[in-house]
Chain A
Amino acid sequence: MSEPQDSAADKLAARVASATPEPLARRVRGLSDRAIAWLFISPTIVLLLAINIFPLIWTIYLSFTNYKANRINRPIEFIGLRNYERVLTDTDIWHTLQVTAHFLCWTMTLQVVLGFGLAWLINKQFKGHGLWTTVILLPMMLSPAVVGNFWTFLYQPQIGLFNYAVSFVTGIPPSSFQMIGDVNLAPWAIVIVDTWMWTPYIMLICLAGLRSIPDYIYEAAEVDRASKWRQFWSITLPMVLPFLMLAVLFRSIENFKMFDLVVELTSGGPGSVTELASINLKREAFEKWRTGYSSAFAIILFVTVFGAASIYVKALNKVKQR
């Protein structure tokens, strides 16, 4: 009695099974889901290997040789650590590192102070603060080449607005000083432009930090008899600090590698007073064609940034956990 019913149930099950689609992969090529996943990410991996990982390894290799990229036919000789020795004893290199350090320290100091100050003001939520935020963020959105070009005009001793602004404030004639041409002023010229361009970035991140502090914390502090000054030092600053440190990390790495903006402004001159490490590197590699030597310098720079950033990130995590 029950047999015909069973076979009917079997038929139904078979129909359901045939109507259910197989997993996409098997149906198309007989590939597993994992294989499909590899198929999709492999172009990225290949690209990454080709333009990032391979050049890095190749650079490390070249840094141990006397290779010159403009003399391809010359046999490549392995010279051990000689390039590194030369880089580290070269006074020019130390000079460029000094220039870089000056640039890095001053841009970071100014940008942190100004960025935090601006964020603090914007966070007061005065009328039109949205518009001001947009206006302040504009420099950051411009291309460094444009900014560089733009500021060479502003720094023009005869027609530059910057010189006129300074003369308006201080009373000295505008054509009496040259921001870009003067050996003493040029290092400051690049600091000013970078600060103008990137302060908004620090401000934006500080603003996010400030907005993350709820009002009731300040109310509690007020009832706890903390003055505005104490509220700032014991609440605002410690709570924004992780954000601020993160912004400084990003900006420091970028500014350590600074190239485009400064090349557009001063090309490292006058003399070599604004010759940052990366500008020097480009000269060694593609003007003097000392490929092996510049590879060694590049590796040293990379290790320096990497090491400093790692130490910094450790400190940052400590601040965050506090």
Chain B
Amino acid sequence: MRGVSKHFGEIPAVDHLDLTVGNGEFVVLLGPTGAGKTTTLRLVAGLEKLDAGTISIGGHDMTTADPAVRDVSFVFQQYSLYPHLSVYENLAFPLRSPAHPHSKSEIRRRVTAIAEMLRITHKLDNRATQLSGGEMQRVAIGRAMVREPQIYLMDEPLSSLDAKLRADLRLELKRIQQDLGATLLYVTHDQIEAMTMANRIGVIDQGRLIQVGTPREIYQDPCNLYVASRLGQPAINVIPPGLIPRFAVPPGTASIGARTEHMHISRSVNGSGQGKVEWIEHLGDQNHLHVRIGDHQIITLVDPETPMSRGDDVDIALTGPLFFDAAGNRLRGTGDG
């Protein structure tokens, strides 16, 4: 994709987006609702016409091609199964294209293989509308997987599932992708999906691609405050430079981003700590610690066995946090903690 743009009326949905997805790569586009992720996918699939730029798939220019010739498959957010057909027929539908004929036995072989992979073999004779949400989604994924297209496009396929099923399918999807060596462009607003499945993540905001990189790069080395705030649980703490005393920052620093691993929190010995523990959230395996420093609140992870309790005075030390200028861009300097 080169310089791809799409406007809906006055509003740019996708703004000069450049992205290359390598063969066999799993690329995740991460961004909030309305960032232009879905539009990007639809542009690649040919379901929307682009205003500017070019799209090529498998080395061929597909900018103005119809969806049918692009050789892509698409998993829609709202399943989009054919309601009047059985699960088997839904899975077989892409193989029954008269322009790309498959023999009956070939269709049967592929459909049963996919059904087995997605564990829906026992539902093959059901009507598409007689399935649970998770099953429908697996059929939708299966319908995309039954062909071997140049690229699989997936639009938040897991967003309407419950937490447990989402976690299961996340692993399954990654496994299938690795087994098939498939090329995938995947859209989500869920940072865990992005972090766990992607080879590379593209963070997108207001139609612009902000940063592309491996999950590790995006997490550890975000290019601006926006990217930094998309990843990490709990979200990165943004604090003004003067808040922690005796901590030097590079010139121009307007804010400091500090994640759990950038902070060392300890009970102050002499009762003169900078912060006060305001609240402890118990999540089971770990606790969220809410610390108040002046007018600012910091949320960080602590061991559930932490000796700290509400009202304790604490000292906070920073090690290697991220620095951002007034525009939110990253400053590549090191402070000293």
Contacts and interface: CB of A to CB of B under 8 A. Distances in A.
Interface of A: 214, 216-217, 219-227, 230, 234-235, 238-239, 322
Please report whether the interface of chain A is mostly helix, strand, loop or mixed according to DSSP.
Answer: helix
A222 B76 CA distance: 13
B88 to A, nearest CB: 13
Given A222-B68, A225-B99, A216 B82 contact: no
B82 A235 contact: yes
B84 A238 contact: yes
A217 B76 CA distance: 10
A129 to B, nearest CB: 22
Given A219-B47, A220-B74, A225 B94 contact: yes
Nearest to B94: A224
Interface residues of B, number: 24
B98 A227 contact: yes
A222 B97 contact: no
27 contacts: A216-B76, A216-B80, A217-B83, A219-B47, A219-B80, A220-B80, A220-B82, A220-B143, A221-B82, A222-B47, A222-B66, A222-B67, A222-B68, A223-B47, A223-B67, A223-B73, A223-B74, A224-B73, A224-B143, A226-B93, A227-B68, A227-B98, A230-B97, A235-B82, A239-B83, A322-B84, A322-B127
Contacts of A219: 47, 67, 74, 76, 80
B78 interface: yes
B68 A225 contact: yes
Contacts of A221: 82, 93
Contacts of B82: 217, 220-221, 234-235
Given A225-B67, A230-B97, A239-B84, 17 more contacts: A216-B78, A216-B80, A217-B80, A217-B83, A220-B74, A220-B80, A220-B143, A223-B72, A223-B73, A224-B97, A224-B143, A225-B94, A225-B99, A226-B93, A227-B97, A230-B98, A235-B84
Contacts, number: 61
B100 interface: yes
A216 B68 CA distance: 15
Contact of A223 (B45, B78, B98, B100): B45
A219 B68 CA distance: 10
Contacts of B81: 220
Nearest to B78: A216
Please report whether the interface of chain B is mostly helix, strand, loop or mixed according to DSSP.
Answer: loop
A242 to B, nearest CB: 9
A219 B45 CA distance: 10
B43 to A, nearest CB: 13
A225 B45 CA distance: 11
A123 to B, nearest CB: 18
Interface string B166-184: 0000000000000000000
Contacts of B94: 224-225
Contacts of A217: 80, 82-83
A317 to B, nearest CB: 14
Contacts of B97: 224-227, 230
Interface string B136-169: 0000000100000000000000000000000000
A33 B122 CA distance: 51
B66 to A, nearest CB: 8
Contacts of B74: 219-220, 223
Contacts of A322: 84, 127
Interface in B50-92: 66-68, 72-74, 76, 78, 80-84
Contact of B68 (A226, A235, A239): A226
A214 B82 CA distance: 10
Nearest to A321: B127
A235 B82 CA distance: 8
A225 B84 CA distance: 19
Nearest to A220: B80
B147 to A, nearest CB: 8
Contacts of B84: 235, 238-239, 322
Nearest to A238: B84
A53 B74 CA distance: 59
